[in-house]
A and B are shown apart, each in its own frame.
Chain A
Amino acid sequence: MDWYPLYNSLRIALISSVIVFFSGIFAAYYIAKLPPILKGILDVVLTLPLVLPPTVVGYFLLVLMGPRRPLGAWFLEVFQTRLVMVWYSGVFAAAVVAFPLMYRTARGAFESFDETLAFSGQTLGLSNTYIFWRIRMPACRQGIMAGGVLAFARALGEYGATSMIAGYTPGRTATISTTVYQLWRTDNDALAFRWVVVNVVISAIVLLVVNLLEKREKASRRSSGQMAGRG
């Protein structure tokens, strides 16, 4: 069994979820501060990939990055490399599709943050950087981590946009999900089944991590609640 699809899937999922992790936090933090109208518009645009069919996302990416399209052509000229039908094309697809999950979870965490904590930090003379990293981020940690894990899971399972922009080339752009489809299409049931098992195992582990995170959060909440009640 050629393990390339597993390697490729994991690398695409990891890279794209790292990108999405930071850009999602950044977007969530700054968009929350914008005036309502602008916030509403950006919110719709950034959440759209969550509800659009992945093939539509793939279409937009091709329109943008295809070798004869503006971004793709410029890239080809400057870096002599294509943006589509290579392994990292999958990163673009996975990042765009997973971004809304990270963005929305992080925004929810930031919105439930008690702003008086930041205010009290400011009146105590603490710098805004200190407040962000030492007070805001720790308070929102659970939500942000859950968002990261969800984004990773979504990136790992990405099929539609990936198949359009990266295609399926064994040993080059094949991922687990595109491999399963190809094997099924070519009547290779047994091998397809093996990849299905691999995929189910990875997804189950990811969900297990999410559950553990949530359970730990609940437990810490419960214990602090009890303490407060006793005091």
Chain B
Amino acid sequence: MSLYVDIKKDLGSFVLETQFAADGGVTGILGASGCGKSMTLRCIAGIMKPDEGRIELDGKVFFDSVKNINLKPQQRHVGLLFQNYALFPNMTVWQNLMAGLLPYEKDRKRAVESIEAMIGKFCLDGLEKHKPGQLSGGQQQRVALARIFLSKPEILLLDEPFSALDDFLKWKLELELADLLEEFGGSTLFVSHSREEIYRVCDRVCVMDRGKSSPVIPVKQLFEVPRSRAAAVLSGCKNFSRARAAGSRAVYAEDWGVTLEYTGEAPENFRYIGVRSHYIYPVLSKEAPGQKNTFCCDVLRVIEDVFSIVVILQPKGVADLEPKENNGRIRLETTKEVWQDFCRQEGFQNELWVHMGGKDIMVLEGV
């Protein structure tokens, strides 16, 4: 099972230029809304036509602008799960499932057997005569997936499958979906803007930013060592500063006005550093001075979140540095227990010393 995509399409506000290969398992496409993820899936399915390029699945050419090949969606055997599930509103659940089977199964008796088996597998018993409008979001998704499975696709494309559901349902459906994907066995492309979903569901991931795709990497690698600022943003990092080299394994963080040492790898032409909010630690003022990677900040705000404390900081002396990325602000996040404990020892101050571990500083490419 291998999918190869290398396409270009002018989308008006930007050009979609995506290139990646996916073999087996679940490959995620992670990107912000409107970055061209859905359009990529639609090009693979054949309902949109790229301006140029090539799409190939297991040696079967779907699209090739040079050889003038453009297979109809009906000839591609691709299962695309739409964001709104796209169930036919005028048909019952049974008729919807029948529509998925119709082009492939002419034998009436066998068709009925397959549908009954699928209804059992997707827990749709008793809903056969319902119209899609009478089903909950989760049920609609199951019908849509069952319909796709009945058409026996070579590859499964999932377009933000959980975006139409509320948080509580999402969790339950994600578990169900993971089981179903395992059973499907073929390759799956999973498009989402949620890094958590991608982290939990996918084996590998391709990050997309304004139509540009980056190489497919294992999911763990994206979250542990992102290479670019865009990838770091998508992996959830919130603190960035422009940076320039300041000796070997040290950078000067221009927006924070401090020099920091790092232990990881740095890309050749790095422009930024990023540090996750959870990896910035408060330090007692009596222990701080002289420590590496430790500096003093003004406390701008302390925000109590549901399970954590968020402290918004501004490094001392950066108020005069212009212009600044994010106003040079730093977001520190910690558990309530740790914060209370710290405040008991330190007393509440308008200033706070913070420490960033050398291994937690991500040195990043960017524009």
Contacts and interface: CB of A to CB of B under 8 A. Distances in A.
A117 to B, nearest CB: 5
Contacts of A125: 74, 77, 102-104, 151
Contacts of B47: 119, 122-123
Interface in A95-136: 114, 116-117, 119-127, 130, 134-135
Contacts of A120: 80, 82, 86
B133 A227 contact: yes
Interface residues on A, range: 20 to 34
B82 A116 contact: yes
Contacts of A123: 45-47, 73-74, 76, 78-80
B355 interface: no
Given A123-B80, A139-B89, 8 more contacts: A120-B80, A123-B79, A125-B77, A125-B151, A126-B74, A135-B90, A224-B133, A227-B134
A135 B89 CA distance: 8
A225 interface: yes
Interface stretch (B135-143, B253-261, B313-321): B135-143
Nearest to A120: B86
Contact of A231 (B74, B78, B88, B139): B139
Interface string B57-89: 000000000000000111011111010101011
Interface residues on B, range: 20 to 34
A138 B99 CA distance: 15
A38 interface: no
Contacts of A124: 99-100, 103, 147-148, 151
Contacts of A135: 88, 90
A116 B86 contact: yes
15 contacts: A120-B80, A120-B82, A120-B86, A122-B46, A122-B72, A122-B74, A123-B46, A123-B73, A124-B99, A126-B103, A135-B90, A139-B89, A224-B89, A228-B134, A228-B136
Contact of A224 (B42, B102, B134): B134
A228 B138 CA distance: 11
B252 to A, nearest CB: 50
A151 B145 CA distance: 42
A117 B134 CA distance: 17
B238 to A, nearest CB: 34
B131 interface: yes
A52 to B, nearest CB: 37
Nearest to A117: B86
B163 to A, nearest CB: 14
Interface in B26-59: 42, 45-47
Which among A114, A116, A127, A135 has the greatest number of chain B C-beta atoms within 10 A? A116
A229 B1 CA distance: 40
A231 B137 contact: yes
Interface in B87-145: 88-90, 99-100, 102-104, 131, 133-137, 139
A126 B100 CA distance: 8
A121 to B, nearest CB: 7
Contact of A126 (B42, B77, B102, B134): B102
B46 A116 contact: no
Nearest to A221: B133
Contacts of A227: 133-135
Given A227-B133, A231-B134, A121 B99 contact: yes
B88 A224 contact: no
A174 B129 CA distance: 53
Contacts of B131: 224
A140 to B, nearest CB: 10
A114 B82 CA distance: 12
A101 to B, nearest CB: 25
Interface string A182-208: 000000000000000000000000000
A37 to B, nearest CB: 18
A121 B80 CA distance: 10
Nearest to B77: A125
Contacts of B135: 227-228, 231
